[in-house]
Structure 1
């Protein structure tokens, strides 16, 4: 079973917060069509920082690294 996690700012104008949400929602809908009722698909929305709200805070990198480590072990 594959796990997916995305991080995005709440006002990311480069990637587009709405686009990211729509993508995650579509992934979950597709999983549901394959009878995966509790799909391991996550979207973490945090404060936008930096140019066009596309920056990443150090704690976000740390959180992502810990999640990857947990997923691999």
Structure 2
């Protein structure tokens, strides 16, 4: 049971980190003078990048630790 709790907690933290990164990217794009669609595009790219990086790190750690 503790393993499930750790996995869920880690998943929530990664998603929150990705959302904060996306919001920051959108805000910085808007401050730079980008339009709303461009800011949303930057936010989506940042969100996907964080989730991809988390997946790659998880795969690498699984390969090393298992």
**TM-score range, shorter-chain basis?**
0.3 to 0.5
Bigger radius of gyration among the two: 2
Higher relative strand content: 1
Higher relative helix content: 2
TM-score normalized by structure 1?
A: 0.38
Of the two structures, which has the highest relative contact order with CA contacts closer than 8 Å and spacing of 6 or more? Answer: 1
